[in-house]
């Protein structure tokens, strides 16, 4: 099976089918990153499409195909940030965002248990923290890779992870969650 790097190399060489396959393969990731930033389904879909188009038209500028995934995530993260800034300016998304947060909470409310509490707590985090933990814990990027995607320093990634852990802990304690989720581990600081 063709690796991501090989696919990206073909796309960078001008193969339109490879570019289409690449964005198709990474479409779910693009949408999840956009949604984690915006918490609005329509805006996330539009943003993910725009990011995919930017990547598609920009493959010729991709120099290191071994970093194609990080390169692509960075395009999506930047596009999401632009949309968020535009939305803030236009003041139209505040209600939508609130609705989406409720939507997520309602979605998970019929389930029970600690995982649901934690998942809902993640949804209620600030977008920069939410995106950072998504990149680290869902996409399994290293701190350095996550930093490259977000355009920040690796030490800032570590700081955000620490803050995210602390906020989640506070949220869960406020909800009187089981102490089994809490531990004295600080492993999240590992690279």
Partner 1 sequence: MNELNSDSMRSATRDYAEQIAVPVFDERPIRARAREKLAPQRGWRRTTVAIATAAVIIAAALNGPAVVAQVEHMVQAVLTIGGTQVPVTVQAVSLQQAQRDMPFTVVAPPVIPGYQQSIREIVAQSSPQASRLMVQYTGSPSVAPVTIMESSATAAHTELRIWSSKMPNAQPPQPMRPPELHGAGPEQQATLQIRANGGRQFRVRLTPQSWTAGSTRIDLLSPPGALSAAQMLAIRRGMSR
Name residues contacting partner 1, limited to 106-145 (CB under 8 A). Answer: 107-108, 114-116, 118-119, 121-123, 133-134, 137-138
Q: Which residue of 7, 38, 43, 52 would you call a contact of partner 1, by CB under 8 A?
A: 52
Q: How far is CA 8 from CA 27, 59, 79, 120, 147, in A?
A: 15, 8, 20, 35, 21
**130 and 36 Cβ atoms separated by less than 8 Å:** yes
Q: Which residue of 61, 89, 91, 110 would you call a contact of partner 1, by CB under 8 A?
A: 61
Q: Which residue of 45, 78, 105, 142 would you call a contact of partner 1, by CB under 8 A?
A: 45
User: What is the 3-state secondary structure of 4-55?
Assistant: HHHHHHHHHCCCHHHHHHHHHHHHHHHHHHHHHHHCCHHHHHHHHHHHHHHH
Binding residues vs partner 1 (CB under 8 A): 9, 12-16, 19-20, 23-24, 27-28, 31-32, 35-36, 41, 45, 49-50, 52-54, 56-58, 60-65, 104, 107-108, 114-116, 118-119, 121-123, 133-134, 137-138, 165-166, 168-169, 172, 181-188
């Amino acid at each position: 099976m063709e690796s991501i790097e090989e696919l990206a190399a073909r796309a960078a060489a001008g193969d339109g089918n490879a570019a289409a396959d690449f964005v198709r393969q990474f479409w779910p990731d693009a949408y999840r990153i956009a949604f984690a930033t915006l918490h609005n389904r329509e805006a996330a879909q539009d943003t993910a499409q725009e990011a995919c188009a930017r990547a598609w038209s920009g493959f010729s500028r991709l120099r290191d195909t071994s970093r194609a995934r990080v390169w692509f995530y960075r395009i999506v993260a930047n596009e999401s940030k632009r949309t968020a800034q535009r939305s803030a300016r236009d003041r139209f998304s505040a209600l939508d965002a609130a609705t989406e947060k409720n939507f997520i909470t309602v979605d998970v409310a019929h389930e029970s248990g600690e995982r649901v509490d934690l998942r809902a707590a993640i949804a209620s985090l600030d977008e920069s923290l939410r995106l950072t933990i998504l990149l680290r814990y869902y996409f399994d990027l290293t701190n350095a890779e996550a930093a490259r995607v977000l355009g920040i320093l690796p030490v800032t990634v570590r700081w955000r992870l620490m803050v995210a852990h602390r906020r989640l802990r506070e949220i869960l304690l406020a909800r009187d969650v089981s102490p089994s989720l809490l531990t004295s581990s600080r492993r999240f600081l590992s690279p």
